[in-house]
């Protein structure tokens, strides 16, 4: 089955770190751009980061720039989001999504909840 | 910074046509996409590149984009179309989502 399977997440204290993974099943990640987006409880979607394997472009939202790092693991056919210096306002469900063309996300992972709290 | 503005809510009767607008400066010069999200579920792409439907999306979903406004139109709206809808576009090196519109079918 073609899908994105996310792992990682949970409860972390402010200032802490966490790594999310997004594994591709049924297709090769290197053929697609990948985005991370998040959704705070009861709120709308917020884009977080973008990676293109074809151009090596990496972009971040201003809200996470310098704290989050997107990377890929070709051996595991997966993408990672390393999140450092976490803040309460980072609390959200995080989604990975693939983009066959840069402009639209045609497949989303199941989402993983990150709670930043002491 | 670039913004996409959507109405918070839209109501429609079953079988009628629902239209959800998304406005942004010169949005018509960009590709716009639309996503449907039901409670507790991941978003689903319903329109991309302004007016294209992914495979598996019913024909009652259509899109347009011109000037400063993109519009998602759902013809013959069904109760299962009740969901939150988000528009999305790129501005330079940033992805922008609209604030979302809750579509109520009643």
For the stretch B69-86, pLDDT in tens is 999 999 999 999 999 999
Q: Please judge whether A101 and B49 are an interchain contact, meaning their C-beta atoms are less than 8 angstroms apart.
A: yes
Residue in B45, B94, B97 closest to A106 by CB? B45
What integer best gives the mean pLDDT of chain B?
A: 98
Q: Please judge whether A45 and B48 are an interchain contact, meaning their C-beta atoms are less than 8 angstroms apart.
A: no
CA distances, A95 to each of A20, A25, A34, A61 (Å): 10, 16, 11, 15
Phi, psi angle pair for B79, to nearest 5°: -60, -30
**Tokens representing residue B82 in the block:** 């009740």
pLDDT in tens, A21-58: 999 999 988 889 999 999 999 999 999 999 998 899 99
What integer best gives the mean pLDDT of chain A?
A: 96
pLDDT of residue A29: 86
What is the torsional sign of CA B10, B13, B14, B19?
A: negative
Q: Please judge whether B88 and A105 are an interchain contact, meaning their C-beta atoms are less than 8 angstroms apart.
A: yes
**Closest-CA residue in chain B for A110?**
B42
Residue in B48, B93, B94 closest to A104 by CB? B48
How close A6 comes to chain B (CA, Å)?
A: 12
**Nearest one of B44, B40, B47 to B74, comparing CA atoms:** B47
Per CB distance under 8 Å, which residues of A are interface residues toward B? 35, 37, 44-47, 50, 57, 59, 61, 95, 97, 101-111
Contact between A17 and A83 (Cβ < 8 Å) = yes
């Amino acid at each position: 089955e073609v899908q994105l399977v996310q792992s990682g997440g949970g409860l972390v204290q402010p200032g802490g770190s966490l790594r999310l993974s997004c594994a591709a099943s049924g297709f090769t990640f290197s053929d697609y751009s990948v985005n991370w987006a998040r959704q705070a409880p009861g709120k709308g979607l917020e884009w977080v980061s973008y990676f293109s394997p074809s151009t090596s472009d990496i972009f971040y939202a201003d809200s996470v720039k310098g704290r989050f790092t997107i990377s890929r693991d070709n051996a595991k056919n997966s993408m990672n989001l390393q999140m450092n210096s976490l803040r309460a306002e980072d609390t959200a469900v995080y989604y990975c999504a693939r983009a066959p063309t840069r402009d639209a996300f045609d497949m989303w992972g199941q989402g993983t909840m990150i709670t930043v709290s002491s | 910074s670039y913004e996409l503005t959507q109405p918070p809510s839209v109501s429609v009767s079953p079988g009628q046509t629902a239209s959800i607008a998304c406005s942004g400066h010169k949005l018509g010069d960009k590709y716009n996409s639309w996503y449907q999200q039901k409670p507790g579920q991941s978003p689903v792409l319903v329109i991309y590149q302004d007016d294209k439907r992914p495979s598996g999306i019913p024909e009652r979903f259509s899109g347009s984009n011109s000037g400063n406004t993109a519009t998602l139109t759902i013809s013959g709206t069904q109760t299962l179309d009740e969901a939150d809808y988000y528009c999305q576009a790129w501005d330079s090196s940033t992805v922008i989502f609209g604030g979302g519109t809750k579509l109520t079918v009643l």
